[in-house]
């Protein structure tokens, strides 16, 4: 296997904190087949060992290994609870997932939970995705928009996606029609990307922020779900002083934590759910 040296990075905390549904536990490490090939990676100290089914993979990009993590943690630390959250998982980094699987996963996350969501993603891969041969096994990657366009709402409902089925069909159509272009979104401002994502049927404020943060690279995005709402009320109530709508709280959080607000969100989310049972993402 190839190797890459890392600093300030914990593979398990990064993958299992609820921000990605493309990386899946496999033996001693994790596998991702949603990038046009299969990559397997495991960690031993400060070394990542990885293997691919085809060409090399830029793990520094996928795991944001070039982000200045010590600086980020210093910038976002505001009080004791934020410090506790960082100290709980100091090697947690944000991921950079492919746009389409990230979008679909967070549409499916609406009123769902993490185990069920992984099951839904697996169903889509096995039913509509591309098969790869890797280590003597067949591994399925997430379908492209063209592949998933073959599925209608009724077929997705048969996979137990319920009312989310219509969202996925319409989101896929938006991508194929050119209404949404991921590359153009990355070249726009956060505010513009978030606004345009919400044009997609089924994408609201929270889902849009998740895609902005975990795929498009807008590190200021601050998704607010049930866990973060609870954290805000218990530890950062000043974020609601300018208003209690999602938009107001998200804007206040971005101003409060600054350019790396997304990192603050994920540390808080990971720490909060580790202390309690784990509901929907």
pLDDT score of 277: 52
pLDDT score of 244: 82
Percent of the chain with pLDDT over 90: 89
pLDDT band at 276 (very low <50, low <70, confident <90, very high): confident
pLDDT band at 281 (very low <50, low <70, confident <90, very high): low
pLDDT score of 246: 93
Query: Average pLDDT, whole number, for the chain?
Result: 95
How many other C-beta atoms lie within 10 A of the C-beta of residue 44? 11
How many other C-beta atoms lie within 10 A of the C-beta of residue 181? 12
Report the SS3 class of residue 40: strand
pLDDT score of 238: 75
**With left for phi above 0 and alpha for psi between -120 and 50, is residue 31 left, alpha or beta?**
beta
How many other C-beta atoms lie within 10 A of the C-beta of residue 204? 13
pTM of the model: 0.95
pLDDT digits (tens, 9 = 90+) for 3-48: 999 999 999 999 999 999 999 999 999 999 999 999 999 999 999 9
How many other C-beta atoms lie within 10 A of the C-beta of residue 146? 11
Give the helix ranges, DSSP H, for the chain.
Answer: 11-15, 59-62, 69-76, 80-88, 99-108, 114-128, 145-148, 153-158, 164-177, 182-186, 190-197, 205-214, 226-235, 246-257, 261-274
Long-range pairs, 42-47, Cβ under 8 A, ≥24 = 42/11, 43/6, 43/9, 43/10, 43/11, 43/12, 46/5, 46/6, 46/7, 46/9, 47/3, 47/4, 47/5, 47/6
Q: Which residue has the higher pLDDT, 239 or 207?
A: 207
pLDDT score of 279: 44
pLDDT digits (tens, 9 = 90+) for 136-172: 999 999 999 999 999 999 999 999 999 999 999 999 9
pLDDT digits (tens, 9 = 90+) for 72-113: 999 999 889 999 999 999 999 999 999 999 999 999 999 888
The whole-angstrom separation of Cα 94 and Cα 19 is 8
pLDDT score of 103: 98
């Amino acid at each position: 296997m190839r190797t890459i040296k890392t600093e300030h990075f914990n593979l398990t905390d990064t993958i299992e904190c609820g921000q990605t549904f493309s990386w899946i536990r496999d033996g001693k490490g994790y596998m991702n087949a949603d990038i046009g090939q299969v990559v397997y990676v495991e960690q031993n100290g400060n070394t990542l060992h990885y293997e691919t089914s085809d060409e090399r993979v830029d793990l520094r990009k996928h795991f944001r290994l070039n982000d200045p993590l010590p600086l980020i943690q210093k910038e976002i630390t505001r009080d004791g609870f934020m410090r506790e959250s960082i100290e709980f998982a100091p090697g947690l980094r944000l991921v950079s997932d492919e746009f389409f699987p990230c979008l679909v996963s967070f549409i499916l996350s609406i009123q769902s939970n993490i185990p069920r969501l992984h099951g839904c993603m697996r169903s889509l891969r096995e039913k509509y995705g591309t098969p790869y041969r890797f280590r003597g096994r067949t591994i399925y990657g997430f379908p492209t928009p063209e592949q998933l366009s073959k599925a209608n709402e009724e077929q997705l409902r048969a996979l137990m996606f319920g009312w989310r089925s219509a969202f996925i069909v319409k989101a896929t159509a938006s991508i194929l029609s050119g209404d949404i272009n991921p590359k153009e979104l990355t070249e726009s401002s956060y505010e513009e990307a978030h606004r345009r994502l919400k044009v997609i049927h089924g994408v609201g404020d929270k889902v849009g922020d998740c895609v902005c943060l975990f795929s498009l690279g807008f590190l200021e995005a601050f998704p607010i779900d049930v866990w973060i709402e609870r954290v805000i009320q218990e530890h950062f109530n000043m974020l609601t002083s300018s208003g209690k709508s999602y938009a107001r709280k998200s804007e206040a959080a971005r101003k409060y934590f600054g350019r790396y607000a997304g990192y603050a969100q994920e540390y808080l989310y990971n720490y909060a759910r580790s202390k309690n049972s784990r509901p929907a993402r």
